[in-house]
C-alpha cells in the first residue's frame, strides 16, 4: 500500500521506458534502408496513464535512450513531458522538469526498474519499483508493483496511487462517462 499522506503530495509522476512501460525487449531490424525499432507497450498501462492525467497529475516519460517508438507512444498518450537522452542520463531532464513546474522532489514519484533509475528514485518523494526490478531498485522503493514491467506494472501503481489519494472510483467513473458509458464503480480497497 502507498501511504495516503505521501500520495496526497504527488503532483508529477515520471516513468522509465524500457523495463517499465515495456517488457525491456527491443526489436531492431531494417525496413528497406531504414533501421526500425519496435517496442511492446501494455494497453492497460496506457489507460492508467490517461486516468492519472485526467486526475490532474503531470506525467513525464524519462528515458536514457532515444527511440522513435517511445516518441510515438508519448504522443499517443499525450504525456506532459518526454525526456530522452542518448547517454543514459535522466537526472538533469527530470530536475529541469521540476524547476519549470515549480515542484519539489517530494512532490514527485518515479517508476523504475534498473540501475540508471537510481539517481531519480533516491530523490523523489515516492520511489516505485516494478515487480521484476533489480534488487538495488527494489531496496529503495516505497511500493513494488505486483506486475512486471510492460505487463501491467504501470496500471498497478497508478491504481494504488489513486486509491491512496481516495480518487480511484471518481477517476474510473469520469473515464467511463467521458466515453459514453455509465460508470457503476464500487471500491475494492
Q: What is the pLDDT of residues 145-160, one digit of tens each?
A: 999 999 999 999 999 9
* % residues pLDDT > 90 (the chain): 83
Q: At 12, give phi and psi (nearest 5°).
A: -140, 135
Alpha helices (H) in 15-148, listed in sequence order: 43-54, 68-77, 91-100, 118-121, 135-140
Is the predicted pLDDT of residue 188 greater than 60, yes or no? no
Give residue 187's pLDDT: 57
Is the predicted pLDDT of residue 12 greater than 70, yes or no? yes
Q: Give the cell for residue 15.
A: 516513468
Mean pLDDT of all residues belonging to the chain: 94
Domains and their CATH numbers in the chain: 4-178 (3.40.50.1000)
Contact 153, 24 (CB under 8 A): no
Give residue 41's pLDDT: 95
Number of residues that make up the chain? 189
In the three-class reduction of DSSP (H, G, I as helix; E, B as strand; rest coil), residue 106 is classed as helix
Contact 127, 141 (CB under 8 A): yes
| pTM of this structure | 0.92
> What is the C-alpha to C-alpha distance for residues 115 and 168, in angstroms, rounded to an integer?
31
Amino acid at each position: 500500500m502507498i501511504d495516503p499522506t505521501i500520495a496526497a503530495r504527488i503532483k508529477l509522476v515520471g516513468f522509465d521506458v524500457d523495463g517499465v512501460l515495456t517488457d525491456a525487449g527491443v526489436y531492431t531490424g531494417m525496413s528497406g534502408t531504414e533501421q526500425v525499432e519496435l517496442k511492446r507497450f501494455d494497453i492497460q498501462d496506457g489507460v492508467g496513464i490517461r486516468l492519472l492525467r485526467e486526475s490532474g497529475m503531470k506525467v513525464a516519460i524519462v528515458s536514457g535512450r532515444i527511440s522513435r517508438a517511445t516518441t510515438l507512444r508519448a504522443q499517443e498518450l499525450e504525456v506532459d513531458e518526454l525526456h530522452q537522452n542518448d547517454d543514459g542520463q535522466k537526472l538533469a531532464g527530470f530536475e529541469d522538469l521540476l524547476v519549470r513546474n515549480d515542484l519539489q522532489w517530494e512532490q514527485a514519484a518515479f517508476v523504475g526498474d534498473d540501475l540508471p533509475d537510481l539517481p531519480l528514485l533516491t530523490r523523489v518523494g515516492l520511489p516505485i519499483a516494478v515487480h521484476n526490478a533489480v534488487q538495488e531498485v527494489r531496496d529503495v522503493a516505497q511500493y513494488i508493483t505486483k506486475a512486471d514491467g510492460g505487463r501491467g506494472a504501470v496500471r498497478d501503481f497508478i491504481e494504488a496511487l489513486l486509491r491512496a489519494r481516495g480518487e480511484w472510483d471518481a477517476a474510473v467513473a469520469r473515464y467511463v462517462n467521458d466515453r459514453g458509458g455509465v460508470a457503476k464503480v464500487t471500491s475494492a480497497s
